[in-house]
Amino acid sequence: MADAEPVKAVRQRRASRPKVKTGCNNCKTRRVKCDETRPQCTKCVRSGRTCDGYPAYNPRNRNLDTIVPIAPRPPIGPRSAITSSSQTFSTTPATSTSSVIVPARRPVRNGSALRASLATTPITSFSVDPSFIARSPAFGLPFNTTEAQYFQVFRTHTASELSGFFDSEFWTRSVLQESHSEASIRHAVVALGALYKTLEKVTESPPSSPQNSEQSSVDSAAKHWEFAWENYGKAITRMRQSMENGEVRSQRTILISSVLFTCFQSFVGDHKNAIRQVQVGLGVMEKQRRERRRSFIQREDDIVEEELGQMFTRLAVQAKSYDMAFHFPDPYVIRLSTNSSIANPQSPSSASSPSDTSTTASFDSPVSESFSNVHEARLVLDAICERTLRYNEELAGFYAVSNKILPAHIISNGYGFGKSLEQWQINFEPLLKGRRDRGKTNTERAGIIVLQMTCTMTRILVHTAFCPNEMGFDQFHDMFEEINELAKELIVDEELAIAQARCGEACHVNYASPSPSIHHDDDTYSHIKPSFALDSGIVPPLFVVATKCRDRKLRREAISLLTSSHRREGMWDSKLCAGVGKWVMEMEEEGLNPYDLRTRGQVVPEGKRVMVTEITFNLEKRWATLRCGTRGLRKGEWDERARETPVHW
């Protein structure tokens, strides 16, 4: 019998992946895959080598087809000549986002076509108003004409927009002052100004306004977008160089840069790198606090640190609330507590937090008088929200390692937060009732409304923290309705103010009953453009109504309010939240009679109610994968209500 023919071993080949040029110089020399951790990559650190840093950002490598995600994406030249990339830039460790980013198209190799398309939209070709140069505070700064114009845009428009519904000297004073001495901050300011010009151009033709030609609007938007990424890359590179060479003037500079980088990443929809920037800033602040405790020295910049402490408290609260709603995996989770004990509302020192050592007003002793202004009320509410979220974080950890029976003192601490919120509400009532008094500015009125919505939302979440199922939310019907009514009031105020400013007497806008349609998603408020602000506002409370309120009318109102005016508040995107709310609603109402005036009183039975368990998404590509299941189940337990669906918008 002939010997069997030997089987040739099949050589396994490594899977092909697109080449990248973003690793550190040392790893590229060694021809190994760099993990792009900053300021030093892990490969170099583990092998005992000195990391030589990263190449400067080249804007031509940025995805030209991904334009401001809260507005239409203008193409640049022929679409076949556009490269696609998922590259992002950050001072924080870069991590793979392949689990949530749609695979990019292979880059076109026709370099001449790409150069030709870029040549049709030169960055510095738009005209500059000569009078603007004379007025610009950028005089004396190392700006060229184009950079000076974007700096002026930031100073006169972007700074106030980023403040959202509150006045903030951080944007209108501190950032502008620091930009005069720090190149990284200067470039970041220019980048944000260019992003706002992009958003302005892609939404340039409102009703009753002169309309530019489509091509000129597209070209201009593309130029602003490219210029924004170019200067963001310069800001990152300059900060890295300053840190490597020991040229950073103070930790304050790093913190302000971190806020600006967080703002940029949130604007373009990269929530992962935005969260990493917040983590870096919180780490720097914690290091500062430890040094200050050891030195016992009062420094001259303590006031600035207090301002930055308040800023990072809000960013941390926003990122933590975002994580609690969407359930992010590590490392994209903000840790508010370093203490394993359950936080006590009467013990502010129970754990480390952004506000622990700042002079931010706390609530450890009851406030006996009304708040004198919105700023004072906001500081106290920020402190309550931060410690409430820290408590929820520790509570989740408790559930993960023990049975579901909570000790009495832990439950008592939880209800203590509810009492603190009720006390805040009592002290806030005079401001709330007087929000429409003569002399109140639109910003003051909007700030009051947002604070009330935030307090109401937090009270609902605090009182349902111990509910074993979703039925506990039904007792808060009046609070859900209050959130909707306040959101309508704010949006109508915005619409009327913008319509009056833009159209004057030619525009007759009248909302006798300020409510969008609850039967479809068409935009009702035609003058409000897509917007971005770093602070949270009306989106999180409306998201809670959309996903937790089972009144069919109120839930549909909340979803319509989210879609009626597209806004991104930090990481909270109204379109994404509306899509999630609509999907949860359709899941729970499956089998019920179609919604109309006769059936709107139908209640979703307990057996059909679900909660969001995980959301993976890409705001740049506008898609998400939603997962839901039964409230109260441990991870890994069988769940008959578990569902998953893709969403696009």
- Give residue-wise pLDDT tens across range 401-412: 666 677 787 888
Domain stops at, among 298, 320, 342? 320
Structure tokens at 123: 């960055």
Residue 224 lies in a domain: yes
Task: State which amino acid sits at residue 472.
Answer: G
Domain membership of residue 459 (yes or no) is: no
Of residues 236, 202, 228, 223, the one with CA closest to residue 38: 236
Q: Is residue 443 part of a domain?
A: no
39-48, 131-140, 310-319, range with the lowest pLDDT:
131-140
pLDDT of 621 above 50: yes
pLDDT digits (tens, 9 = 90+) for 460-518: 999 998 888 999 999 999 999 999 999 999 999 988 888 777 776 656 555 544 444 44
Q: State the DSSP H helix or E strand holding residue 563, giving kind and residue range, or none if neither.
A: helix 552-564
Q: How far apart are CA 448 and CA 450, in angstroms?
A: 6
Distance CA 121, CA 384 (A): 49
Is 59's pLDDT higher than 80? Answer: no
Question: What's the structural domain count of the chain?
Answer: 2
Within a domain: 42:
no
**Residue 496, domain member (yes or no):** yes
* 241 domain residue, yes or no: yes
pLDDT in tens, 219-274: 588 899 999 999 999 999 999 998 888 877 778 889 999 999 999 999 999 999 99
| pLDDT score of 104 more than 50 | no
Instruction: Flag the least confident range among 98-112, 451-465, 511-525.
Output: 98-112
Q: Which residues pair with 644 in a beta bridge?
A: 627
pLDDT at 134 over 70: no
Report the distance separating Cα 190 and Cα 194, nearest Å.
6
Task: Report the candidate in 166, 254, 120 with the shortest Cα–Cα distance to residue 446.
Answer: 166
Structural domain includes residue 3: no
Give the number of other CB atoms < 10 A from CB of residue 250. 15
What is the domain extent for residue 138?
64-89+99-320
* Residue 213 neighbours by CB under 8 Å, 6+ apart: none
Residue 563 above 80 pLDDT? yes
User: Which of 65-69, 587-591, 593-597 is the most confident on average?
Assistant: 587-591
What tens digit of pLDDT does each residue of 318-357 get?
999 998 899 888 888 888 865 545 555 554 433 344 544 3
The answer to whether position 415 is within a domain reads no
pTM of this prediction? 0.75
Of the listed ranges 243-247, 359-363, 474-478, 558-562, the one predicted with least confidence: 359-363
> Quick one: pLDDT at residue 284?
86
Q: Which of 304, 320, 336 is the last residue of a domain?
A: 320
Last residue of a domain, one of 266, 290, 320: 320
Least confident of 76-90, 413-427, 463-477: 76-90
Cα–Cα distance for residue pair 588/613, rounded to 1 Å: 15
Residue 503 is which amino acid? C
pLDDT value for 159: 92
